[in-house]
Amino acid sequence: MQQRRRAHLPSFLAGFASALFLFLLLFGGVVLLLTYHGVTVTLNSGEIARMVRERVVIQAREDLPRLIDTAKTKIPSIVEAQMREQLISDRMEIAGFVFRVPEELLGQLRQSIRESAEQAATKILEGVDTSALAENMGDNVYLTVQETLSQELHGKIFEVLAYGRLPLRVRLQISN
């Protein structure tokens, strides 16, 4: 019985060595193929753009009301600065006649214009539909991301080191 085992040991080793050689040859061929030709990775630009759009809409819905509130608090100082530059003279010209406006009337005029400008600006800001604006921003970002991915990354080849040593070419294919 031991002779039979010994008689088959060289056959076993030859078969094992052949299988190992074929495996290494096949593995080397795959590595060589991947190194030279690389792999193609397909990215769905619509899906990526949708994810970015959702994040932008969420962020815009959070930030826009705060930005509008900040703008509302700055309206009086902006109006005041503009008023100082516009109403610096106490003279008024109507149909070629120049009149001197009394200081009290000029003060009331300034106050009335200031209040009207502040109210108008505040109403405009209060009328802004932040939700619709956020959706609009999201739609714009969606289109921009899709366009950028298609124009900038479609067909682009990157070289990545697999396992830190093996150079692998990765080609991006962008689909809609």
Interval 51-72 mean pLDDT: 94
Query: CB of 173 within 8 A of CB of 155?
Result: yes
For the whole model, what pTM was predicted?
A: 0.64
For residues 43-61, give the mean pLDDT: 95
| Ranges of each domain in the chain | 38-175
CB 99 within 8 A of CB 91: yes
pLDDT surpassing 60 at residue 4? no
Condensed to tens digits (0 to 9), the pLDDT of residues 75-118 reads 888 888 777 766 666 777 778 888 787 888 878 888 888 888 88
Phi, psi of 119 (to 5 degrees): -65, -40
